[in-house]
Amino acid sequence: MPSTADLLSDLQPAIVWRHFERFCRIPRQSRQEAALREHLQQWADGLGLAARVDTAGNLIIRKPASPGCEAAPGVVLQAHLDMVCQKNTGTVHDFSRDPIRPRLSDGWLIAEDTTLGADNGIGAALILATLEDKALTHGPLEALFTVDEEAGMGGAQGLQAGLLNGSLMLNLDTEDWGEFYLGCAGGLDVNVDRPGRPADMPAGWQAWRITLDGLRGGHSGVDIHEERGNAIKLLVRVMRALEDSLPLRLASLDGGTARNALPREAQAVVALPAGSGDQLAALLADWQARLRRELQGVDQGLRLAAALDDTRSLLDAAEQAVWLATLHAAPHGVRRRSLSVAGVVETSNNLGVVRLGPDGGHCNFMVRSLIDSGSQALADEIVSLFSLSGSTALKSGDYPGWAPNPDSPLLALCRQAFRREFGGESGGGESSVKVIHAGLECGIIGSRYPDMDIVSFGPTIRGAHAPGERVEVESVGKAWQLLRAILADAAAIHSLA
């Protein structure tokens, strides 16, 4: 199997893929971006570019304007350094030290058993290529590499007003080539905690580990409209049904790995009277068939299986009742579709993580909305539900949405450049303008710099936040061509208003 460097060495544009190879090689889990940031600082120093790290850990690199373009409006190029770290069950991969090992398949670069990190490593690689390429024509450039985007937008939240000088910003963190994004959802987290009361296994009972897996998972914002299965919600539903047929006791429930990823897998350890194995197997087979029918065309790979386990400690029966009832009742998925932006989800929620055992439990919800009051209202419903049971439910990590400005001069410039560069392609001469049901850092940065004109675009990425994430190689080259054209057009004017 070729090394990642060898694999990517034949791809074009080489200047971009060379930088992405570095992102595959250096671990960059959220809140663990220091090694990559230091590497990029040294790289910038080697090019003679000014680099600084702000108090939030964001990296800012400045490149002077091309000769004669000093009076052009300054452009901020923005991407985040961290990635969502997900792997399939049984995959041996330590995201704190192991490199990502992608492969090529039918024009796509893909990581089969882990996330690839094209979100947002490709965007960051495009920016680094811009900083390196001496042949580009551009005005004053500032590269803003934020941290902790995937775990709470911490870098953008900590960005201070006054650090950036540019009046225009290109965010390179969207995933559909040919589309310019002009608005995004805001959101917040709801974290639920509850202490436990352990109980002993009744005499003559056996423990069983029930696993629900085989779901597609995906991004909890951009994929939420597809109604993919949530392993946590589905397994809780199965547990509630099993309680109607068997004297089931719960020992643990674990599902999901990230707040912003749709849970692909979940496991519950339960206790049943000895000799219940055949009945359990029959019930699970029935539920597997039932859920596959419900998810037909979306998540037909769902699997339900059970195996004996050696657990001896259980949840208290009252705690079991509280947790299964509240998780069963908790909202997940699309709450409301936008009435003002056709085809876009307005408000949604993802039950992303559950960790529950005899000593207590925790779960996390990520709420999104194009309207800030909409996300607050749904989060308050979740808080109310869990507060009724005596659990502690707290809202945190609130970040604003990005209100679209259809009259953006930067958008007009971007669309003009796209039309000129790709107008000869069949069906490729006109771009589209969209709003995304996901959290881009544009809204937060825009709140710090309210006069900044912001547009987002990028190459085509599929399966972000899930194993099997892939990026279309051809679209990366097109994104590089477009970025260079936009910068040249912006450099040719003395103001953009």
Catalytic positions, please? 82, 149
Query: Under DSSP, is residue 441 helix (H, G, I), strand (E, B) or coil?
Result: coil
CA distance 487 to 75: 8
- Exposure b/e, 384-401, CB count within 10 A at least 16 = b: ebbeebebebebebbbbb
How does DSSP assign 82-113, residue by residue?
Answer: -B---B-TT----TTTPPP--EEETTEEE-SS
Q: Which of 211, 291, 290 is nearest to 252 (CA)?
A: 211
Cα separations in angstroms, 322 against 2, 211, 316, 445 = 52, 21, 10, 41
Q: Which of 363, 361, 393 is nearest to 379 (CA)?
A: 393
CA distance 142 to 67: 16
Q: 365: buried, middle or exposed (CB in 10 Å: 19+, 13-18, 0-12)?
A: buried
- One-letter amino acid for residue 338 of the chain: S
CA distance 133 to 126: 11
- Exposure b/e, 288-317, CB count within 10 A at least 16 = b: beebbeebeeebeebebebeebebebbbee
CB atoms within 10 A of CB 116: 29
Cα angle 472, 438, 56 (rounded to 5 degrees) comes to 100
CA distance 186 to 347: 9
Q: Are 395 and 172 in contact (CB under 8 A)?
A: no
Task: Identify the helix (H) or strand (E) that includes residue 402.
Answer: none
Q: Are 244 and 328 in contact (CB under 8 A)?
A: no
CA distance 207 to 251: 8
Task: Give the pair of three-digit tokens for residue 459.
Answer: 């190459």
Write down the residue that tokens 């190689």 correspond to: 473
CA distance 16 to 344: 32
Query: Under DSSP, is residue 461 helix (H, G, I), strand (E, B) or coil?
Result: strand
